[in-house]
Every structure is written in structure tokens, then in C-alpha cells.
Amino acid sequence: MAPEYKDRVSARTKVTVEGFYSYSNQWVPCVVHDLSMEGAGLKINQILVPGDTLQLKFLLRSDERIIDATVANGNGTRTGVRFVADVATQAFLQALIQAHHRPTSFRRHS
């Protein structure tokens, strides 16, 4: 059963965004699989625990942003993070979501 995230302010949009995260001052590749203005779901090759802090780095066209994040939850290499974004960063995140949005797939039931 999937965990409930009662503290989540808004729904996340399914995306596929390649980026980097920094934990312990080392930049490592990651993939963001869902994204909102308040947080993201990451697939990383490291296990982090709630409360850990890290930075995320994304590039959209020529605009590179670094966003501070706090681990909210984790399940193996899938990690949920929260961040507080200023207005300029929110606009960047919205553009990132629009550029990398994945349509929802529908499954047929047999």
C-alpha cells in the first residue's frame, strides 16, 4: 500500500527530468519523476532519511537553478523532498513542469 502524504499542499505532476543533487558537497545525477511548487519525487542511488538536506540542480534551456530541499520521505532509492521556492524559482519550476510533463497513462482492466 502506498503511503499517504497528508502534509502535501498540492498534487505533483508526473515528469521525467534529469538533474543533479548534492549531498555532502558532491553533485550526483538523479531523475525527478514528479514535481510541484512545493516538492519533488526523486530516483537517486543513495538512501536518505527524513530531515536530510540536499540541493537540486536543474537546467532548462540556458537557465540553471539550484534549489535547497529537505527529505520528507523515502522508500529505497525513491525519495520525496520538500522545498520552499521564491517567486522566481516557482516560475522556473512551472516552466520545468510544462517542458517535461508526462501524460498520465491509462491501464486496461481485463
Tell me the residue type at 88.
A
Q: Which of 102, 58, 56, 101 is nearest to 83 (CA)?
A: 56
81 found inside a domain: yes
* Span 11-28, average pLDDT: 92
* Span 25-35, average pLDDT: 94
Q: What is the mean pLDDT of the chain?
A: 87
pLDDT for position 11: 81
> Residue 104: pLDDT band by 50, 70, 90 thresholds?
low
Structure confidence by residue, pLDDT tens digits, 50-103? 999 999 999 999 999 999 999 999 998 899 999 988 999 999 999 999 999 877
CATH of the domain at 71: 2.40.10.220
List phi, psi (to 5°) of 101. -60, 135
From CA 48, how far away is CA 97, in angstroms rounded?
24
The residue assigned the cell 526523486 is 42
89 found inside a domain: yes
Where are any strands of DSSP class E within 44-109? 53-60, 63-75, 78-82
**Cα 25 → chain centroid:** 19
| Count of the separate structural domains present in the chain | 1
- Domain with 45, as residue range(s), is 13-97
pLDDT for position 32: 95
Beta-ladder partners of 17? 32
5 found inside a domain: no
104 found inside a domain: no
107 found inside a domain: no
